[in-house]
Amino acid sequence: MSRLFEKFTVGNQEIIALSDGAPERALGGFFNGVDPALWTAALGIAGPDEGVPFNFGTFLISGGGRKVLVDSGFGAPAKAMGILGGGELDLRLAEAGVNPGEITDVIHTHLHGDHIGWNVVKGADGADTLSFPNATYHVAARELDYWLNGAPKDDDRTKTAAYHTVPIQAAGHIKTFDGDVEVLPGISAIATPGHTPGHTSFIVSSAGAEVLIVGDAAHHPVHFEHHDWIPGVDLDPAESTRSRGKISALAADRGAMVTGGHFPILTLGYVRRVEGGYRWEGVGAK
Ligand SMILES: [Zn+2]
């Protein structure tokens, strides 16, 4: 199993998980205020400083004349980190046989730097260039409005969001959506606010099967079992906790397979209802 590139199938739809960086890192920041004894036991690790596989991931969904990318990786910062596959999304796309000009759509879970990193890159002449010049970028209206109008202007995250969206907006390539709607044929948005105001997960449907792709509504599968284990970076912890409840119920009720951009490749599973909550059941797990 490669940690950078793996294919899986949902119904008749092939999806490729592409990493833009696969570090080992300590995950304590994603369990803010939780007793380390609890979350380390849940992850099966010896202590909070133990590194575990992590991912800055994207997904490629091809078919029906479209090549759709779910998020666009971390880009240059991941390369600078010197991590496995860091900032190599261009190589992963080549491995998939896809030319950047062939990407028809990019759908964004949210506008943090590790999800939009390839939108705008420095060209050979140092000028800002669109990596996917023919793509339409789909972003929740609330998310775009927050980062361009509502977020603190002097924050690095705000500057990064603007860098990777304003030139695309100027080119007329951003299309916004509101709430739980079908964004593209067979791909529907599930509003999961909290991590950011317009954070969105996506459900891909094919031939009666579904996969739920979560962005940062869950950084690790254990978040489906503990909705109130809150990442320190969530802007609205109460709302992100409710969103984890929403997607856990949705995945369990619909029997949808689940994966996420920060889960190491290739993590797939189901969320099952159990007494008093939910249980993550990894595909292939013993
Ligand atoms: Zn993220």
- Partnered with residue 189 across adjacent β-strands are 202
pLDDT at residue 123, rounded to an integer? 86
Amino acid at 254: R
List pLDDT tens digits, range 192-246: 999 999 999 999 999 999 999 999 999 999 999 999 999 999 999 999 999 999 9
List pLDDT tens digits, range 31-66: 999 999 999 999 999 999 999 999 999 999 999 999
Distance 109 CA to ligand 1 centre (A): 9
Distance 116 CA to ligand 1 centre (A): 10
Distance 115 CA to ligand 1 centre (A): 6
- CA–CA gap between residue 170 and residue 73 (Å, rounded): 21
Sorted by where each begins, the domain ranges of the chain are 5-282
* DSSP code of residue 43: H
Cβ atoms of 139 and 169 within 8 Å: the answer is no
Give this prediction's pTM: 0.97
Count CB atoms within 10 A of the CB of residue 170. 9
List pLDDT tens digits, range 9-20: 999 999 999 999
Strand order in the sheet with 136-140: 5-10, 13-19, 57-63, 66-70, 105-107, 136-140, 174-177
3-state SS assignment for residue 8: strand
Distance 144 CA to ligand 1 centre (A): 16
List pLDDT tens digits, range 131-142: 999 999 999 999
Tokens found for residue 225: 């079992």
Distance 275 CA to ligand 1 centre (A): 30
Distance 231 CA to ligand 1 centre (A): 10
Distance 71 CA to ligand 1 centre (A): 10
* DSSP code of residue 135: P
CA distances from 57 to 60, 65, 124, 237, 285 (A): 10, 23, 25, 23, 21
CATH number of 5-282: 3.60.15.10
- CA–CA gap between residue 138 and residue 62 (Å, rounded): 16
pLDDT at residue 124, rounded to an integer? 86
% of the chain beyond a pLDDT of 90: 97
> Phi and psi at residue 221, in whole multiples of 5°?
-55, -25
Tokens found for residue 123: 């060209």
Distance 114 CA to ligand 1 centre (A): 5
Mean pLDDT computed over 250-254: 98
Distance 262 CA to ligand 1 centre (A): 7
Distance 198 CA to ligand 1 centre (A): 14
Distance 172 CA to ligand 1 centre (A): 26
